[in-house]
């Protein structure tokens, strides 16, 4: 019983220490003196994936969605007094409009290419 208690205490303390050590964010916003000891490193540049996503939204998604009159009427009207909150239904409607506007060739799709591979596909 004594060994079981020791194992339990050791396991609990190790899990606590591991959880504390994995938290790497330094929240020294309220304590300016802490920055002299451990400065906070901030990265201002967006990453590669974020830039690709932003380019896709600006160049492909928004122009395609704005062609659909039903989406324009339902979601894109500007109301200065009321901020329009984003809903899942709005995304589903916009994704449906985007998929209906874009045509996909079965032979050039990535799914078709993967299925043609001998190890992965049929």
Measuring CA to CA, which residue among 122, 121, 74, 120 is closest to residue 97? 74
Q: With respect to residue 60, please indicate whether it lies within any of the assigned structural domains.
A: yes
The predicted pLDDT at position 8 comes to: 65
Residue 23 vs residues 10, 26, 76: alpha-carbon distances, Å: 20, 8, 41
User: What confidence score (pLDDT) does residue 109 get?
Assistant: 81
CB atoms within 10 A of CB 89: 10
CA distance 91 to 23: 34
User: Which of 59, 60, 97, 54 is closest to 75 using CA atoms?
Assistant: 97
Decide if 16 is inside a domain: no
In a domain, 98, yes or no: yes
Per-residue confidence (pLDDT) for residue 92, from 0 to 100: 92
Entry pTM = 0.48
**Which residues of the chain are under the pLDDT cut of 70?**
1-2, 4-5, 8-9, 12-32, 34-36, 39-43, 78-84, 120-122
Q: Provide the pLDDT for residue 28.
A: 47
Domain that holds residue 80: 48-116
Q: Is residue 86 part of a domain?
A: yes
Counted domains in the chain: 1
């Amino acid at each position: 019983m004594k060994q079981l208690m020791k194992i339990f205490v050791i396991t609990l303390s190790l899990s606590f220490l591991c959880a504390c050590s994995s938290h790497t964010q330094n929240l020294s916003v309220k304590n300016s003196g802490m920055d002299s000891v451990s400065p906070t490193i901030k990265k201002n540049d967006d990453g590669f994936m974020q830039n690709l996503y932003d380019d896709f939204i600006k160049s492909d998604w928004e122009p395609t969605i704005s062609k659909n009159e039903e989406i324009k009427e339902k979601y894109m009207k500007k109301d200065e007094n009321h901020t329009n909150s984003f809903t899942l239904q709005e995304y589903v409607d916009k994704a449906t409009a985007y998929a209906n506007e874009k045509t996909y060739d079965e032979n050039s799709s990535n799914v078709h290419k993967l299925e043609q591979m001998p190890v992965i596909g049929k």
